[in-house]
Every structure is written in structure tokens, then in C-alpha cells.
Amino acid sequence: MQYQDRIPPDGINTPGRHPLREFLRLSVMALLAIITLGFLLNSAGGTLGGLIPFKYELWLADRIDSASVDAGQESPFAQTITHPELQEYLQSVADRVASAMELEASMPITLHYSDDDLVNAYATIGGHVYFFRGLLSLLPHENALSMLMAHEFSHVSLRHTAKGIGGGLALAAGTSLLGMSQKNQLFGLATTLTSTRFSRNMETQADRSALAAVNRMYGHVAGASALFILFMQQRDEEEGQFDKFLSTHPLDEQRIQRIEDLALERQWLLEGETTPLPDKYSSWLR
């Protein structure tokens, strides 16, 4: 008997493909799969969320309110408009917008004001709509304010909050079931992309519905795009290109373009006289 030690040739146990090729192939597959899956989950959850009657949204808001009071914290719905004249003015515009939008009485809107520099406004569950001082102080005329309100109220009437929560929950449930939530960076990016697309659609819907309301109120849509021009200027100052790409809102240039397209399509007047804000408006915002 003889003993030898021949070395088998390389590559039988490591028929290595180039790792970069493998990586690219898998990344593309993963992104596609995740975007498809994310989109499906998000839409399914969103659709289900939109089916929940508004009264449950009110009930939920109520629960959050009382729960935070019980816990000794300030309720998120506690920030009301303290300045009486501002309150009166905003409420009157809100009432006109609501009636132009034919909002049902079962869908009450509550206005909130936040003394903050943030250039923003948002609608949350139960018809609670928040305006930040930063945004209100930049508005050039009442038409822009009406457009802003109509946009936020559209989120409420189109049930975007419920849809957003439904979609987000479905997405979170789906990804955690597959065991790949925040652990994997690529999945994080992909889910952000899908939910971003989803909410951009909702923004576009809200813009369209708001523009119709503004046209009904003033007989023209002049000044509606002023709101987005404002956002555009603000964003140019603050953000880089990449943040824009990931932003949940449509790009401002596109929004302005879409507004004009819609107005032309419906034959709404793009020109018209804008209604100024009350003289003391800026002093109320201090």
C-alpha cells in the first residue's frame, strides 16, 4: 500500500462567479421583488384602510386625546388657535372651503395652529388639520390660503390618513413577517420608494380636488400655484437633490405644471384677481 497526497485542482468547491456580478444580479432582483411586494401590500392595506368608516377615525382620535390626557401629557390635539382674530379668520376661510368642497357634516374639520417656523401643514386622523406659523406667514394672498386648506381637507375627505395608516401597517406587517425590516438597508430603501410613490399619488389627488374647490370659490384658479412656488423656493434653500428624489411629495415644478394642465383641460381661468389677506394678518401671527 502506498500513501500519497495529491492536491485536487482548484475551483471544484469554489466555482466562484465574480462576486460583483452576483451582487448586481441579486440586488436588481431584490429591488424589483421588494418594490412589487411593497406596492401590493401598500395598496391592499391602503384600500382596506379607506374602507374604514370615518367615525372610527374620530373615535381613534378621541382615544388618543383622552389617553394622552390620562397619561398627563399634552394631547396632540390640544394646539388650538389662541389668537381670537386669527381663529375667526381661519375658521371663516375654512368654512367657505368646506362648503365649496361639499364636505359632509359627518366629517368635521378641526383647525390647529402651531407656533413654529416650519413651512408646513398637515392633516391627521379624525379631521385634525395643522398649520405652522412658518407657512402661514409666507402666504401671499387668501387664494393661496384657500388652496392650502382645500388641499389638506382633501386629504381628510379622500380618507388619505386612513389609507396611509392602512398601507403603512400592511407594509410593516409584511416585511416583518418575511423577517427583513430595518435590518437590511436595501429593503429599507425599497420600502421607502414604494410608500413614497403611494403618497405622491395621494398628494396629486389632493391637489386636483383642491384646485376644483378653489375654482368654485373664486371662479378662477389664479394664485393657487403660488403655494407651490412658495414650497419650491423653500425647498431649494433647504434640501439637496437626493432628498427631493425621496420626498413624499411630488416635485414642486411638476405640481405647478399639473395644476396648469388641469386648469387648461377643465377650462378654468388661470388669470383673475386675487383676494388679499386681512391687513392685520401678519400681526396675528406673532
Partner 1 sequence: MSNLIIFAVLMVLGYGFGQYNEQRHYKSIKKREALLSTLPAVATKYPPGDERHRQTMVMGSVVVASDYFKSFVASLVNVFGGRVRSFEPLLDRGRREAMLRLKQEASEQGASMVFNIKYETSRIGGKVPTIEVLAYGTALTPLHSPSTHGEQLSQQV
Partner 2 sequence: MSEKMIISNLEYYPGMKIEQHISLVQGSSVRSKHAGRDFMAGIKSIFGGELLGYTELLHESREEAVDRMVRQAQEVGANAVLNVRFSTSSIAAGAAEIFVYGSAVMLVEEV
| Chosen from partner 1, partner 2, none, partner binding at 26 (C-beta under 5 to 8 Å by type) | partner 1
Amino acid type, 283: S
> Least separation, in Å, of the C-beta of 8 and partner 2?
4
Q: How far is the CB of 5 from partner 2 (least distance, A)?
A: 6
Residue 8 contact among partner 1, partner 2, none, beta carbon within 5 to 8 Å by kind: partner 2
CB nearer partner 2, residue 14 or residue 241: 14
Q: Who's near 133: CB < 8 A, 6+ residues apart?
A: 113, 114, 115, 116, 117, 285
Asked if residue 147 lies in contact with residue 210, where contact means CB atoms within 8 angstroms, the answer is yes
Residue whose CB is less far from partner 2, 8 or 84: 8
- Please choose which of partner 2, partner 1, none residue 17 contacts, taking the beta carbon within 5 to 8 angstroms, the exact cut-off set by kind: partner 1
Q: Applying CB under 8 A, which residues contact partner 2?
A: 1-9, 12-13, 177-180
Residue 9 binds which entry of partner 1, partner 2, none, CB below 5-8 Å type-dependent: partner 2
Nearest-angstrom CA–CA distance, 284 and 286? 6
Which residue number, 13 or 82, has a Cβ lying nearer to partner 1?
Answer: 13
Alpha-carbon distance of 139 to 95, in angstroms, equals: 19
Which C-beta is closer to partner 2: that of 6 or that of 21? Answer: 6
* Cβ-Cβ contacts under 8 Å for 96 (sequence gap 6 or more): 146, 217
If the CB atoms of residues 25 and 280 are measured against partner 2, the closer one turns out to be: 25
Give the span between the Cα atoms of 6 and 9, in whole angstroms: 9
Nearer to partner 2, 36 or 91 (CB): 36
Q: Residue 177's binding partner, choosing from partner 2, partner 1, none, with beta-carbon cut-off 5 to 8 A by kind? A: partner 2
Q: Which is nearer to partner 2, 37 or 217 (CB)?
A: 37
End-to-end CA distance of the chain: 100
3-state secondary structure of 224: coil
From edge to edge, which strands make up the β-sheet containing 128-132? 110-114, 128-132, 121-124
> Left (φ > 0), alpha (ψ -120 to 50) or beta: where does 89 sit?
alpha
Minimal distance, residue 24 CB to partner 1, in Å: 10
19 binding partner (options partner 1, partner 2, none; Cβ < 5 to 8 Å by kind): partner 1
Q: Cβ of residue 10: shortest distance to partner 1, in angstroms?
A: 8
H helix or E strand, kind and range, residue 229: helix 226-238
For partner 1, the binding residues (CB under 8 A) are 1, 3-7, 13-17, 19-20, 22-23, 26-27, 29-30, 33, 178, 180, 184-186, 188-189, 242-243
| Partners of residue 111 on adjacent β-strands | 129
